Amino acid sequence: TRSTVGRAVRDRFPILSTRPGGVPLTYLDNAATTQKPDSVLDAIVGYYSRDNSNIGRGHYRLSLNATELYEGARERVRQVLGAQHPDEVVFTQGTTAATNLLADTFGARVVGRGDQVVVSGMEHNSNLLPWRRLCERSGAELVVVPVDGDGRVAAADFRAALGPRVRLAAVAHVSNVLGTVNPVREMIADAHRDGVPVVVDGAQAVPHRPVDVRELDADFYCFSGHKVYGPTGTGALYGRRELLTDLPPYQVGGGTVKGVAHDEPVRHVPVPSRLEAGTPDVAGAIGLVAALDFVDGLGWDAVRRHDAELVDHAVRVLRGVDRVRVVGAPEADPSGIVSVVVEGVHPYDVGGHLDRHGVAVRSGVHCASTFLDDLGLLGTVRISFGVYNTVDEIDFLVRALETVRPGEWTKNHPDSRFL
């Protein structure tokens, strides 16, 4: 059978044949955002060309149709996450918007003075700062579970952080720095034994593995559409129905109320609309459906095999390069991410050098400086794969890495921890 991934799918991504800076693009920054296939681009143009109108408000055909498309997108996300009801899916701008929404609504309700909120030591700022601010505002304590030597949160360490004062826990499913996978199912089961609800940041999981929120028994699960071949500004928050149903609105305005009179209390519409004030990104939701369909069309087996092949190859060849060190154990359960450090060269200099070869990678702390501090690193060079990447691209990256030299950043940071 013909492969559905790698070279076979590249011509569906117009950007992959561009030459930014006059050299062919080797795009290896997929953990930051993925490129978009033709079907996603077509869906967005198609929506604006044929279907555009505001939803939920009009009583004319076009608006009813757009409303149906938007609610259809919600149903599609429900399916993908394995949620029970479409009204457990709230559209957000992405993972950051979802965690902020949760902290300000659910968090503000359940966390008070003297309580504890548990997070892991590997969190992206988007699943750290909302909880930290919640604790600062409410007089609660933020408890940080350390990451183990393999770059994972051990279930036992998470269990040890639970206790009678814990009201909420928030953890990454997959690390955006190392690509390592946390035992979230076990962590959730442990938390539930204590009656603690768990928020899972699935931003790096959803693009690389089938997720089933019921199988995980997750209370809340967030992801970003743009990391799974969908448009920027899209994403979703799954919330278990019992927990979501009576949440207060996050933002208030159009679409969140049943009708307002100046001298009467406001009556809110039910969730999810209650949590989606204003005109949503309808075109984005339509584009996201096309992206989810695209991944479905490839098949999870093919995507998983491809991730494993690329990560295995990358780890093997990178370990053979002088002065290059692979951080953690990304091949244990591949999620398309390999982080490296080049001894004696600042990650920014590595990124700049690779850019001159048309290679796009992320270098630095990846919005997780607390984790990088724990790792004792100033930063890493993060190589991250999408379904269109190939082994040849990895070899090209490696050849470029072999010629990297210390540059301005390295010279200006003589004592840095990448050395």
- Tell me if 234 contacts ligand PMP by CB under 6 A: no
Q: Which stretch binds ligand PMP (CB under 6 A): 64-72, 121-129, 133-141, 238-246?
A: 121-129
Counting Cα atoms < 13 Å in the Cβ hemisphere of 12 gives 23
Cβ-in-10-Å burial (0-12, 13-18, 19+) of 61 comes to: exposed
Q: State the nearest-atom distance from the C-beta of 53 to ligand PMP, in Å.
A: 27
Is 66 or 338 the residue whose CB approaches ligand PMP more closely? 338
Per-residue x/- track, 351-390, ligand PMP (CB under 6 A): ----------------x-----------------------
Are residues 9 and 253 in contact, defined by beta-carbon separation less than 8 angstroms? Answer: no
Q: Which stretch binds ligand PMP (CB under 6 A): 119-127, 303-311, 316-324, 354-362?
A: 119-127
Is 285 or 345 the residue whose CB approaches ligand PMP more closely? 285
345, two tokens: 């060269």
d(CA 281, CA 287): 10
Is 9 or 367 the residue whose CB approaches ligand PMP more closely? 367
**CA 2, 300, 15, 401 torsion-angle sign:** negative
Point out the catalytic residue in the list 367, 378, 383, 387. 367
What number of chain residues touch ligand PMP (CB under 6 A)? Answer: 13
The terminus-to-terminus CA distance of the chain in angstroms comes to: 47
d(CA 306, CA 4): 10
- Tell me if 172 contacts ligand PMP by CB under 6 A: yes
Q: How far is CA 269 from the centre of its chain?
A: 29
Give the one residue of 26, 34, 39, 127 binding ligand PMP; rule: CB under 6 A.
127
Q: State the nearest-atom distance from the C-beta of 95 to ligand PMP, in Å.
A: 4
* SS3 label, residue 419: coil
Is 213 or 302 the residue whose CB approaches ligand PMP more closely? 213
| C-alpha to C-alpha distances, 46 to 175, 280, 292, nearest whole angstrom | 35, 17, 17
- Tell me if 335 contacts ligand PMP by CB under 6 A: no
Give the one residue of 12, 76, 124, 240 binding ligand PMP; rule: CB under 6 A.
124
d(CA 412, CA 419): 13
Q: Which stretch binds ligand PMP (CB under 6 A): 82-90, 122-130, 264-272, 314-322?
A: 122-130
Q: Which stretch binds ligand PMP (CB under 6 A): 182-190, 199-207, 251-259, 303-311?
A: 199-207
Q: Which of residues 23-62 bind ligand PMP (CB under 6 A)?
A: none
- Shortest CA distance to 388 belongs to which of 21, 37, 31? 37
Give the one residue of 153, 203, 275, 314 binding ligand PMP; rule: CB under 6 A.
203
Cβ-in-10-Å burial (0-12, 13-18, 19+) of 49 comes to: exposed
d(CA 361, CA 382): 6
Q: State the nearest-atom distance from the C-beta of 170 to ligand PMP, in Å.
A: 10
Residue with tokens 């991730």: 307
Q: Which of residues 88-117 bind ligand PMP (CB under 6 A)?
A: 94-96
Give the one residue of 224, 256, 273, 389 binding ligand PMP; rule: CB under 6 A.
224
d(CA 198, CA 353): 41
Q: Which stretch binds ligand PMP (CB under 6 A): 3-11, 124-132, 371-379, 408-416?
A: 124-132
Assess whether 222 carries a catalytic annotation.
no
- Shortest CA distance to 182 belongs to which of 145, 222, 235? 145
Q: State the nearest-atom distance from the C-beta of 212 to ligand PMP, in Å.
A: 19
Q: Which residues contact 289 (CB under 8 A, 6 or more apart)?
A: 43, 72, 73, 76
Are residues 5 and 248 in contact, defined by beta-carbon separation less than 8 angstroms? Answer: no
d(CA 122, CA 176): 8
d(CA 267, CA 261): 10
d(CA 225, CA 318): 30
244, two tokens: 């979501």
159, two tokens: 């269990």
Is 66 or 172 the residue whose CB approaches ligand PMP more closely? 172
Is 96 or 180 the residue whose CB approaches ligand PMP more closely? 96
Is 29 or 115 the residue whose CB approaches ligand PMP more closely? 29
Q: Which stretch binds ligand PMP (CB under 6 A): 5-13, 197-205, 335-343, 377-385?
A: 197-205
- Tell me if 201 contacts ligand PMP by CB under 6 A: yes
Give the one residue of 34, 105, 176, 363 binding ligand PMP; rule: CB under 6 A.
176
Give the one residue of 26, 30, 126, 335 binding ligand PMP; rule: CB under 6 A.
126
Task: Show which residues are catalytic.
Answer: 367
Positions that interact with ligand PMP (CB under 6 A): 94-96, 124, 126-127, 172, 176, 201, 203-204, 224, 367
